[in-house]
Amino acid sequence: MTAEARGHASPFPPGDVHRRLSAVLRERFSGRRVKKIPLDAGFTCPNIDGTVARGGCIYCRNEAFHPGPLGSGLSVTRQLEIGIARDRRRGERLGPPRHDGYLAYFQTFTNTHAPLEELAPLWSEALAVDGVLGIVIATRPDCLPDQVLDRLEDIARGGRFVALEIGLQSASGAALEFANRAHTVADFEDAARRAGGRGIDVSAHVVFGFPGDDDALVRRTASLLAGLPLDGVKLHHLHVVKGTVLERMHARGEFEPVGRADYVRFAADFLERIPSRFAIHRLVATTPERFLVAPAWTREAAAVAREIEGTLRERGSFQGRLSPARPA
C-alpha cells in the first residue's frame, strides 16, 4: 500500500475497489436482482435530424450498442414482454430465475427528444408492464427541459425508480467539437444541476480517448463530476465502429484509438478521484464483433475492466480515495 493510501479505509466490501451498479440496485430494490431491458421507442437525435446540427456524432451507430433490433416498430409494451420472456427462458435453462424485476431502458438515440405529451404516455406504458420496477432514460444534456424533469420527478416521488443517463462524453470543449456533439460542457453542468435533488438517479456518460486526452483531462473530468449532484458514471473508451465518420478518419490516418495501457491508467486515475458514492455502470466500452474496427483490445473488455481494478489494488487504492468529496 502506498503511503498516500494509508489511513484511508475502503468503503467497499472486501475484494471490491469501486461501487458496482448491481450492488446499488440490489440495495435500492431490497435485495431483488434487476435487469435493464433496452428499448427502441422510435426517437431520433437533434444532432441527426438537424434540430441543433447535422450529421450526428462522428462515432455514433446505434446498432453497435443496442442489443435488440432497431426500427422494429413494436410497441414499448411488446418490446418489454419479449425482453422479459427471453430473460426468464434463459433463467429456466440455466437454473433459478436470474432476475426478480426489470427496468425499462429507453436507450436508442435521444429519449427525451419529443414533446412531453408524447413522452409521458410511453413512460406510463412501460411502468404498467408486469415485472417492470422503473424506467431508465438515456439522453443528451440539451434535451432536458424543466417540464420533462418535473414529470420524471413526479414519477419518482410516487415511489417508482427513475434514472437518467446524460451524455457528457468529455469535459474538453475541443473534444466535443471533434466529436461533433453539438452541445457544451456547460450544457451538461446545467442539466445535471437541474436534474439533481428530484429523487431521480442521475448518471453521466464519459468517454476517454479523444485526441488530446491526457492525465490532466482525467483529473479535470473527475473534479467536474465530483462537484455535481450525480449518482453514477458510465465509462467508455472511444472506439471505431464501421459505417461512421470516425471510421473514415481512422482509415485516413486522422485518428488513432487510445492504447490499452493508457486507458487502464486513465480509468484507474479517474476512479480514484470521483466520489465513492457514485455507482459505476461500466468501465469499458463493448461493441459486437461485426461492427468493430479498432482498437482490437475492445474485444477483451472484461479483461481490461479487471486490469483497471487490478491497477487500483496494486496501488492500495479504490474509488474515491483522492476525491475531495470523499467522506472523512
82-105 pLDDT, tens digit each: 999 988 887 666 666 678 899 999
Q: Which domains does the chain have, with CATH numbers?
A: 21-315 (3.20.20.70)
- pLDDT over 50 (residue 328): no
pLDDT on residue 3: 37
C-alpha cell at 184: 457544451
Mean of all residue pLDDT scores within the chain: 92
3-state SS string for the chain: CCCCCCCCCCCCCCCCCCCEHHHHHHHHCCCCCEEEEEECCCCCCCCCCCCCCCCCCCCCCHHHCCCCCCCCCCCHHHHHHHHHHHHHHHHHHHCCCCCCEEEEEECCCCCCCCCHHHHHHHHHHHHCCCCEEEEEEEECHHHCCHHHHHHHHHHHHCCCEEEEEEEEECCCHHHHHHCCCCCCHHHHHHHHHHHCCCCCEEEEEEEECCCCCCHHHHHHHHHHHHCCCCCEEEEEECCEECCCHHHHHHHCCCCCCCCHHHHHHHHHHHHHHCCCCCEEEECCCCCCCCCEEECHHHHHHHHHHHHHHHHHHHHCCCCCCCCCCCCC
* pLDDT confidence bin for 1, thresholds 50/70/90: very low
State yes or no: pLDDT of 209 exceeds 70: yes
Q: So what's the pLDDT on residue 73?
A: 84
* Confidence at residue 12, expressed as pLDDT on a 0 to 100 scale: 93
Lowest mean pLDDT among 57-66, 239-248, 297-306, 307-316: 57-66
Which one has a higher pLDDT value, 47 or 145?
Answer: 145
Q: Which pLDDT score is estimated for 29?
A: 95
Angle (CA) 195-197-200 rounded to 5° is 60
**Alpha-carbon distances, residue 92 vs 31, 36, 71, 97 (angstroms):** 20, 18, 29, 6
pLDDT confidence of residue 88:
87
pLDDT class of 52 with cuts at 50, 70, 90: confident
The residue ranking higher by pLDDT, 15 or 262, is 262
Share of the chain above pLDDT 70, in %: 91
What pLDDT sits at residue 4?
40
Pick the range with the lowest mean pLDDT from 39-43, 54-58, 214-218. 54-58
pLDDT in tens, 114-150: 999 999 999 999 999 999 999 999 999 999 999 999 9
Query: Using one digit for the tens of pLDDT, what is the confidence trace for 272-289?
Result: 999 999 999 999 999 999
Residue 81 has pLDDT above 80, yes or no: yes
Looking at residue 300, its pLDDT comes to: 97
pLDDT for 48: 86
